[in-house]
Amino acid sequence: MSDQAPTDAKPRRRFTLTVEWVLVGILILVGAVMAQLSPEFLTLSNLLDMTRFIVEIGLLALPMTLIIITKGIDLSVGSNIALSAIIFGFAWHAGVPLVLAAVIGIATGTLAGLVNGWTVAYLGVPPLVTTLATFGAFRGIALGLSGGRGVSGFPDWFYVLGQGDIGPVPVQLLVFIVAAIAFGVLLHVLGYGKRVYAIGLNERAAKFSGVRVRSLLLRLYALSGFMAGLAAIIYVSRVGTAKGNAATGYELEAITAVVLGGTSIAGGVGTITGTILGLAIIISLRFGMILGGVSANVRSLVLGLALIVAVLAYGLLTRKRT
Amino acid sequence: MKVVRALSVLALAVISFATAQTITIAMVPKFTNAQYFAATQKGGQEAADALGVKFIYEGTVNADIDGQIQIIDSLIARGVNALVVSPNDPDAIVPELKKAQAAGIKVVTYDADANGGRDMFVNQATFDSIGKGLIDALVKETGPKANYAIVSAAATAANQNAWIAAMKAYSAANFPDLKLVDIQYGNDEPQKSFQVSQDLLNAHPDLNGIISPTSVGFPAAAQAVEQAGLAGKVAVTGLATPNGMKQFVEDGTVKTVLLWNPIDLGYLGVQAAYALVKGTVTGPGDTFTAGRLGSYTTQQDKISMNILLGPPYEFTKDNINNFDF
Amino acid sequence: MIRRLFRTSGRELVLLAILVVAVVYLGLTTNFLFYTARDGTLAFNARTIQSLLANSAVIAIAAVGMVMVIVAAQIDISVGSILAIAVFAAGYLDHLGVPPLLIIPLTILAGAALGAFNGFLVAFARIPSIIVTLATMTVFRSALLAVLPREYLGNFSKGFRALGLTTFLGLQLPVWVMFAVVAAGAYFIANTRWGRTLYAVGSNEEAAALAGIRVRRVQFMVMMVSGAFVGLAASFHAPRFAQINANEGLGFEFVVITAVVLGGINIFGGSGTVLGAFIGVLLLGLTKTSLIFLHLSADWEKFFQGMFILVAVSIDVLRTRNPLARTRQRLARAAAQPEPTAAGQEPS
């Protein structure tokens, strides 16, 4: 947590490029191994189909990348999905038109994100503490309001979002692609991205050079909440029901993908491309092993070890450069 | 791209070749870390061996609906012929089961039902018979004028809620002075079930009995009663496997354990799946022979059809040591 | 005097006040403390307090280790998985016929070994502890599940069960162990040289290194000690149950960290007390129990736990907005030589 951050930006850019090529290499390796393990893995239909199980986590991982670059973290996103899903389901159940209910659900997620952002940016509570609290609070509200009951029986057209295809491509994968492009532009093209890196490298220096740190952080955590709300709608459409126990543990999966993708928890380093590759590696590993009949325990063992090895490798890469 | 397509064609050929050879039946329990589901696996394997079919048993370690959906998705891709599933969530599982059906896979639910997407439900015992059995076991110890509490699994568990409803209905009709003071949820975690049982005993000093219709909650509740020194004063009954309850039955904390035979349940699940795959059973009213269990006739229900394993079995001090599951 | 106390131990006092108010309220409105016995007399409900303390023991013991970890600016989210392994280690040792008093040190050793693995990756491979333990949380638990022949274990010996169930002065053995560990931990961290180095490393790693502290060794040790505390907790936790199960300790890391954070620790290191964490543990346990006494659904538990943190942290922020306190804090931070005791007691 207290690793000192190198200050000049140039070698870093070259480093991130390296990390991404390493990730591409790992992905190819994983694909080859999984194809050996199961003949069904390397089929176009499977490769597309399995992305259904990572899109919601992916939607969380995109803003998480930005948040971790600012040295922050958002542990509340999984709980936020449950909260947004419950509000969405209840609103629809109470007679609100489905599209409007979805808007209300996403607004709930955004509002929850604003609570995080305000507490972090204006009250000055560390992100880990803030979102640890709202991790419990949001899940608690979702469970308490629903009391174990869920809402299901949505109209058939709604299920297209989470279960349908356009051509051979799952609908939610298209949503993710659009979101990923938007976040790529936000972080790597617009001035906003430069300010995000600046905060992560040195918050005080960023403040002095005119970055409005507080307002940026507020909006960033709100954006994370917005994406959780969006993920909630897709989640409900995929599993056909809105329940308080939705998306349990998603926050850790999203963080794992981001870190695997080369974003440093010490702040200031990370790319959207890396996160996408991290997501691709995780789902290929996990689903490939399920297909190959690898037992659940070995599956999680491999995923955990992969994370350690990847971070160790990044450590070696950075040390060589500096 | 060409390579991918070629590979996928090859893969499909491999699958269809493999499936032409043998029938594969996959059993997906709610979770794997319980003696109860291990017993259903034993029964499933026994039936598969008897029928000469390939048997896959795969589940998540803990009750995890996301993981269960992914496992079923992979089984669809692996081209199994039938699924025998105990869903963690009766609603969230439905889209995935429908996907399996669309791929030509026969879907049987066992132990717990789904609200759609299945061809048959293998019901271990009717909800009413369980509700009656549990209330009768309680009243035998506490008398008809008593306060009791329920320690359930998760608030979302469909069969738990159905049993609770059946208990309420039966006691309202037959024992008007039997009062249900609280329902708590231990989420099928031993530690949590133990704590809520303890808290129930503390919060209601006038409690006469606890009913726990879950194989994780029941031993935990019995242990809470025993540790509070209330054995003999607070009755405990519920549904659990005999092995988990033997020590409590022997020391007298628990008088009656109710359950069906989970080995038979797993056995019947696989037999039913086989009958569906072979086309012996195509709709309600059809009869098939389930190996050593004899013949079963399917009943129509609002989703598709179901069969009933039989009445629940009462384990007491006199017979519990005759069973090993 | 009171003002000074409020400034130095404000969080502890606030939490203690909440705890007392909650107990009094529950005592007056429910049969939390007193109940009408069957013969109509008012009786003391001793079991409530007994079970609250007994169920807090495992969390509190692990929390003492977690305080040391976070004070040294690290974190350990693998404690739940370490607990699962240690619980099974204790159970299998009993099955092998190892005497109960020998099981305790062996289980501590098992926990310490796992903690040392974390510590090595943190201190010498230089991976941030949050990443290391995020990974080992999965690695430890799945490794356990992969080697276990069955995912549950029971039929423990009488002697082993006695570790968890023996009562002394009305309280179970694990409760006395908890009291001893909390007292020793509180003394150690505040009054020994070693304890003060934790604060020094946590408040400013570079300054601590310049002052001659071997920072990496401290970081390694603290992760190992956290594992050892979990091992100790496990050796008294396992015998409380007739059967242990492989999902033991799921979500344990969140409970422990929540309790410690509630107890007023600075998540960035350098400040925090064992006593605060202990009160945090009790408050969390009380939340769970009180829901049942108040006839509220247990579903609200997480909500209240989250709200407690937000309220406690907000009170802290308002408390330290006192301009004088802020200046003092800034001075303390700016001091070239970190003064560990001052940093330790100054809430930030």
Lowest mean pLDDT among B4-13, B311-320, C212-221: B4-13
Q: Could you give the percent of chain C with pLDDT greater than 70? A: 88
CB of B260 closer than 8 Å to CB of B125: yes
**Cβ contact C134–A255 (<8 Å):** yes
Residue where the block lists tokens 């954070």 = C261
Question: Which of A308, A50, C289 is CA-nearest to residue B197?
Answer: C289
Q: Do B77 and A248 touch (CB under 8 A)?
A: no
User: Residue C82 in contact with residue C227, Cβ under 8 Å?
Assistant: yes
Q: What is the pLDDT of residue A228?
A: 98
Please state which CATH number belongs to domain C52-341.
1.10.3470
Q: If pLDDT is split at 50, 70 and 90, which confidence band does B152 have?
A: very high
- How far CA C205 is from CA of B48, C219, C226, in Å, comes to 62, 10, 20
Residue B31: strand pairing partners = none
**Could you give the CA distance from residue A286 to residue C281 in angstroms, rounded to a whole number?**
36
Worst-scoring range by mean pLDDT, A107-111, A230-234, B243-247, C59-63? B243-247
Say which amino acid occupies B263. I
| Spatial distance between the Cα atoms of A150 and A85, rounded to a whole number of angstroms | 10
Q: What is the pLDDT of residue B243?
A: 84
Task: Enumerate chain C positions whose Cβ falls within 8 A of a Cβ in B.
Answer: 30-32, 35-38, 43, 45, 47-48, 51, 55, 145, 150-152, 154-155, 165, 241-248, 250, 288-289, 292-293, 295, 297-299
Q: Is B199 on the interface with C (CB under 8 A)?
A: yes
Give the pLDDT confidence of A238-288 residue by residue, as tens digits: 999 999 889 988 998 999 999 999 998 888 999 999 999 999 999 999 999
Q: Do B15 and A40 touch (CB under 8 A)?
A: yes
Tokens for C245, please give them.
């199960």
Q: Tell me the three-class secondary structure of chain A, residue by residue.
A: CCCCCCCCCHHHHHHHHHHHHHHHHHHHHHHHHHHHHCCCCCCHHHHHHHHHHCHHHHHHHHHHHHHHHCCCCCCCHHHHHHHHHHHHHHHHHCCCCHHHHHHHHHHHHHHHHHHHHHHHHCCCCCHHHHHHHHHHHHHHHHHHHHCCCCEECCCHHHHHHHHCEECCEEHHHHHHHHHHHHHHHHHHCCHHHHHHHHHHHCHHHHHHCCCCHHHHHHHHHHHHHHHHHHHHHHHHHHHCEECCCCCCCHHHHHHHHHHHCCCCCCCCCCCHHHHHHHHHHHHHHHHHHHHCCCCHHHHHHHHHHHHHHHHHHHHHHHHHHC
**Residue contact C135–A135, C-beta within 8 A:** no
- Domains with residue ranges and CATH for chain A: 22-321 (1.10.3470)
Q: pLDDT grade, residue A299 (50/70/90)?
A: confident
Contacts of A287 in chain B (CB under 8 A): 70, 73-74
Give the SS3 label for residue B280: coil
Whether the predicted pLDDT of C318 surpasses 80: no
Q: Which of B199, B204, B246 to mutate to test the interface with C (most CBs of C within 10 A)?
A: B199
Interface test with A, best of C132, C138, C326 (most A CBs within 10 A): C138
pLDDT score of C57 more than 70: yes
CA distance B72 to chain A (A): 10
Q: Please say if the pLDDT value at position C75 is more than 50.
A: yes
The CATH architecture assigned to B2-124+262-310 reads 3-Layer(aba) Sandwich (3.40)
Q: Which residues of B touch C252 (CB under 8 A)?
A: none
The pLDDT mean for chain A works out to 89
C268 vs A: CB within 8 A: yes
- Burial letters B57-70, b for 16+ CB under 10 A, else e: bbbbbbbbbbbbbb
What is the predicted pLDDT for the residue at C342?
A: 41
List the subunits that have 3+ CB pairs under 8 angstroms with C. Answer: A, B
Task: List the Cα angle B1/B4/B6 in 5-degree steps.
Answer: 110
- Which residue of chain C has the CA closest to B38? C150
Higher per-residue confidence, B98 vs A249 = B98
Chain C: give the shortest CA distance to residue B78, in Å.
Answer: 23
The nearest alpha carbon in chain B to A149 belongs to B156
Place of tokens 């799952």: A170
What residue of B is the nearest CA neighbor of C244?
B190
- pLDDT of residue C175 exceeding 60: yes
Percent of chain C clearing pLDDT 90 (strictly above): 47
- Residue A176 pLDDT greater than 90, yes or no: yes
The fraction of chain B above a pLDDT of 70, given in percent, is: 94
Q: How many CB pairs under 8 A join A and C?
A: 144
Question: pLDDT at position A221, please?
Answer: 97
What is the distance in angstroms between the CA of the first residue and the CA of the last residue of chain A? Answer: 19
Cβ separation of C267 and A311 shorter than 8 Å? no
B185 contact residues in A (CB cutoff 8 A) = 148
Cβ separation A136–C317 shorter than 8 A: no
Q: For residues C90 and C87, what is the distance between their CA atoms, to the nearest angstrom?
A: 5
DSSP summary character for residue B104: T
Residue-wise pLDDT tens digits, B265-300: 999 999 999 999 999 999 899 999 999 999 999 999
Domain with CATH 3.40.50.2300 in chain B: 2-124+262-310, 127-259
Q: Is the pLDDT of residue B47 over 90?
A: yes
| Partners of residue A286 in chain B, C-beta under 8 Å | 70
Is residue B98 very low, low, confident or very high in pLDDT (cuts 50, 70, 90)? very high
| B62:C250 CB<8 A | yes
Contacts of residue C59 in chain B, CB cutoff 8 Å? none
Closest to B255 measured CA to CA, from B316, B323, B322, B321: B316
Q: CA A187, A191, A195, A200 torsion: positive or negative?
A: positive
pLDDT over 90 at A53, yes or no: yes
Q: Which of B152-156, B232-236, C270-274 has the lowest mean pLDDT?
A: B152-156
Chain A positions in Cβ-Cβ contact with residue C205 (cut-off 8 Å):
2
Please tell me which of the candidates C128, C299, C317 has its beta carbon nearest to residue A125.
C317
Closest residue in C to A266 (Cα–Cα): C128
Whether residues C292 and B228 touch (CB distance < 8 A) is answered with: no
Cβ pair B184:C145 closer than 8 A? no
Count of CB atoms within 10 A of residue B287's CB?
A: 12
Q: Does C200 touch chain A (CB under 8 A)?
A: no
Q: Tell how many helices (H) and how many strands (E) occur in chain B.
A: 10, 15
CA distance C23 to chain B (A): 14
CB contact under 8 A, B195 and C244: no
* pLDDT value of residue C99: 94
Smallest CA–CA distance from C151 into chain B, residue: B33
What per-residue string of b and e applies to C77-88 under the rule 16 or more CB within 10 Å gives b? bbbbbbbbbbbb
Amino acid letter at A233?
I
- Residue C344 pLDDT: 39
Distance in Å, alpha carbon of A239 to nearest chain B alpha carbon: 5
Alpha-carbon span C284 to C58, nearest angstrom: 13
Res C328 pLDDT > 60: no
Task: State the average pLDDT for chain B.
Answer: 89
Rounded mean pLDDT, B314-321: 91
Tell if the CB–CB gap between A304 and C130 is shorter than 8 Å.
no
Predicted complex ipTM: 0.84
On chain B, the residues whose CB falls within 8 A of the CB of A38 are 78
Tell whether C126 lies on the interface with A, counting CB pairs under 8 A. yes
Tell me: the pLDDT tens digits for C122-137?
A: 999 888 899 899 899 9
| Residue C326 forms contact with A (CB below 8 Å) | no
Higher pLDDT, A321 or C290: C290
* Interchain contact, C304 vs A140, CB within 8 Å: yes
- Of C292, C54, C31, C52, which is closest to residue B206 (Cα–Cα)? C31
> What local confidence, expressed as pLDDT, does residue C232 receive?
97
Task: Classify burial at C315, counting beta carbons within 10 Å of its beta carbon; exposed 0-12, middle 13-18, buried 19 or more.
Answer: middle
> Does C34 have pLDDT greater than 90?
no
Non-local CB neighbours of C9 within 8 Å, separated by 6+ positions:
C273, C275, C276, C345
* Cβ neighbours of B248 in C, within 8 Å: 242
Q: Tokens in use for C311?
A: 């309220």
Chain A residues whose beta carbon lies within 8 Å of the beta carbon of residue C300? 140, 143-144
Largest CA distance in chain A: 61
pLDDT of residue C4: 63
d(CA C71, CA C78): 17
Distances (CA, A) of B177 to B29, B128, B139, C37: 38, 20, 11, 20
Which pLDDT band, with edges at 50, 70 and 90, does A1 fall under? very low
Contact C289 B199 (CB under 8 A): yes
More confident residue, B27 or C150: B27
Q: What's the pLDDT score for residue B9?
A: 55
Residues of B within 8 A of A297 (CB-CB) are 61
Look at residues A138, A149, A159, A136 and name the one whose alpha carbon lies nearest to residue A243: A149
* Alpha-carbon gap, residue B180 to B172, rounded angstroms: 10
pLDDT at C41: 75
Domain borders along chain C are 52-341
Asked if residue B252 has pLDDT above 70, the reply is yes
Residue type, C43: A
Q: Which two tokens stand for residue B129?
A: 């018979």
Chains with 3 or more CB pairs under 8 A to chain B: A, C
Q: Computed from CA positions of residues C72, A206, A258, A23, in that sequence, does the dihedral angle turn out positive or negative?
A: negative
Chain B residue numbers with beta carbons less than 8 Å from the beta carbon of A28 are: none
Q: Quick check: B92 and A147 CB within 8 A?
A: no
User: Residue for token digits 């899940």?
Assistant: A139
C230 interfaces chain A, CB cutoff of 8 Å: no
- Least confident range from A146-150, B311-315, C202-206: namely A146-150
Does C131 contact chain A (CB < 8 Å)?
Answer: yes
Residues of C in contact with B183 (CB under 8 A): none
> What is the pLDDT averaged over residues A144-161?
88
Let me know the angle formed at the C-alpha of C222 by C220 and C225, rounded to the nearest 5 degrees.
110
User: Which backbone phi and psi does B299 adopt, to 5 degrees?
Assistant: -110, 145
pLDDT at A312 (0 to 100) = 82
| pLDDT at residue A131 greater than cutoff 90 | yes
- The answer to whether the CB atoms of C245 and B219 lie below 8 A apart is no
Q: Name the residue in chain B with its Cα closest to that of A289.
A: B74
Range A15-36 average pLDDT: 84
Calpha distance B185→B155 (Å, rounded): 6
Chain C closest-CA separation from residue B63 CA (Å): 10
Q: What's the CATH architecture for B127-259?
A: 3-Layer(aba) Sandwich (3.40)
For chain C, say whether B156 makes contact (Cβ under 8 Å).
no
Q: What's the pLDDT score for residue A89?
A: 96
